[in-house]
A = this chain, B = another copy of it.
Amino acid sequence: MQIGVVIGTVWATRKDEALAGLKLLIVKPIDLLKPDREIIPLVAADRIGAGVGERVIFVGGSSARSAVRDNLIPVDASVVGIIDDLEVEEG
């Protein structure tokens, strides 16, 4: 999984009907050790209720479908947690 921050939302009226009702957030991945690294934002499905500015854990690939509980929904990234806290000791 990766850590990111929610920076926005995207809307599409003409879309795959299987995506109907699914919230699509724009998430910017974060490099915990180099916060200035500029990583390209992506679009993630969200069933958890994350809001703009919150740090989240998101999952990619086929596991993003497990997160939306329907293997037929065409998503490849899903928010799976809103981060309360994290502890990092650089090695």
Chain A residues proximal to chain B, CB less than 8 Å: 1-3, 5, 7-16, 18-19, 24, 26, 28-29, 31-34, 37-44, 47-49, 52-53, 57, 59-67, 71-78, 80-91
Contacts and interface: CB of A to CB of B under 8 A. Distances in A.
Nearest to A31: B40
Contacts of A78: 74
A15 B60 contact: no
A8 B86 contact: yes
User: What is the total number of copies of this protein in its complex?
Assistant: 5
Contacts of A85: 10-11
Contacts of A87: 8-10
29 contacts: A1-B24, A1-B75, A1-B76, A1-B77, A2-B43, A8-B88, A12-B84, A15-B57, A15-B80, A15-B81, A16-B48, A18-B66, A28-B90, A28-B91, A31-B40, A37-B40, A41-B88, A52-B89, A59-B74, A62-B63, A63-B64, A63-B65, A63-B75, A64-B74, A64-B76, A65-B66, A66-B72, A66-B73, A74-B80
